[in-house]
């Protein structure tokens, strides 16, 4: 279980407890948190679950697998701290993680 903070582009914060084994994307979708669309349902095919992760946390997360950066190329305003939230698996280590949503997911 990890407490994860989702921060909308307008600054609105949502803190939820997400079970281990779910992805950060699923944590948002299951709790009806706006700002993460996840059109493809988590198959790393759409880049609509794009989030920004602050540097300290970004470096702590397991590294991106092949293909994630290719999809991020297609995200809305990707930056060097961009991730696809469907590729971040929740574990106890992620307790306290904050993710920032982009302005939109198109």
Partner 1 sequence: MIKTDVVIIGAGPTGLFCAHQLGIIGLKCEIVDNLDKIGGQCIELYPDKPIYDIPAVPECTGEELTNNLIKQIKPFNFNFHLNDRVQELRQENQIWIVKTTNGKEFNTPNVVIAGGVGSFEPRKFPTKSAEKFDGKTVLYSIKDKSIFKDKSVVIFGGGDSALDWAIELSSTSKVSLIHRRDEFRGAPASVQKIKELSEKNKINLFTKYSIKDVKGNGSLEEVEIKSEEGESKTLKADYVLGFFGLIMQLGPIAEWGLNLDKKTIPVNTENFETNKKGIFAIGDICSYPGKLKLILSGFHEGALAARGCFKYARPNEKYRFEFTTASNTIKDRLGVK
- Strand ranges inside 32-86, DSSP E: 50-53, 82-84
Interaction with partner 1 in 62-91: which residues (CB under 8 A)?
69-70, 73-74, 76-80
Contact assessment for residue 37 and residue 49, using Cβ atoms and an 8 Å cutoff: yes
Nearest distance in Å: CB 78, partner 1? 6
Stretch that binds partner 1, among 2-10, 43-51, 56-64, 83-91 (CB under 8 A): 43-51
Instruction: Output the CA angle 101-103-106, nearest 5 degrees.
Output: 100
What residues make contact with partner 1 under the rule CB under 8 A?
37, 39-41, 43, 45-48, 69-70, 73-74, 76-80, 103, 106
């Amino acid at each position: 279980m990890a407490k994860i903070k989702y921060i909308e582009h307008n600054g609105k914060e949502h803190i939820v407890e997400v079970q281990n084994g779910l992805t950060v994307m699923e944590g948002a979708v299951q709790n009806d948190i706006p700002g993460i669309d996840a059109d493809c349902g988590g198959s790393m095919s759409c880049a609509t679950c794009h989030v920004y992760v602050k540097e300290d946390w970004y470096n702590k997360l397991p590294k991106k697998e092949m293909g994630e950066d290719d999809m991020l190329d297609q995200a809305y305003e990707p930056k060097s701290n961009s991730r696809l939230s469907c590729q971040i698996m929740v574990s106890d280590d992620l307790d306290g993680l904050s993710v920032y949503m982009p302005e939109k997911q198109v």
